[in-house]
Structure 1
């Protein structure tokens, strides 16, 4: 039972962080939004993770796809971790 609770917490954490990444992307659309308290807080939480994808240069014109790729990688890693944990206990 404790393993299922851990898996649930991992999934909830990934959902919350994915939501933060979406908020980070939306804040870039509004001038001055990233300079607010909320913008700085979200940036401090998201930029270290998103910096991992900066080397890939995922830009098309003025649009960066780092956030989308970051969400996909995060969800794939979470799913893989869940499968590994479930295979170990089953």
Structure 2
């Protein structure tokens, strides 16, 4: 059970860091057009895009959707780990 929980937690933690890295790339000119920027965009944009549909940028410049996406991912992590622990306790 610990290995399953560890894997889920690690995978979601890595995804959080990918989101943070993608956001940091926006601070540097043309960084998102690089190979790494495009790769991160393909991985992260589908998830962040969900939040961008509902959260408009403040003043047309400040995009808060990655922050909300990270918070939601944190809650998803906590919930998923709780469900996995519950299911393993039912079986074991």
Q: For the aligned residues, what is the CA RMSD?
A: 1.1
Distance 1:58 1:75 in 2: 21
Residue 73 of structure 1: aligned partner: 72
Structure 1 stretches (4+) deviating beyond 3 angstroms? none
Match of 2:7 in 1: 9
Question: What does 1:1-90 correspond to in 2, within 5 Å?
Answer: 3-61=1-59, 62-90=61-89
Alignment length (residue pairs): 88
* Higher mean C-alpha displacement, 51-60 vs 9-18: 51-60
Aligned equivalents of 1:68, 1:75: Cα separation in 2: 11
Question: Which ranges of structure 2 fall in alignment gaps of 5 or more residues?
Answer: none
Offset from partner CA, 1:6-57 (integer Å, 9 cap, x none):
1100110111110000011011111110111111111111001111112212
Mind listing any 5+ residue stretches in structure 1 that lack a counterpart? none
Offset at residue 58 of structure 1 (A): 4.1
State the TM-score, normalized to the length of structure 2: 0.88
Residue 59 of structure 1: CA displacement? 2.0
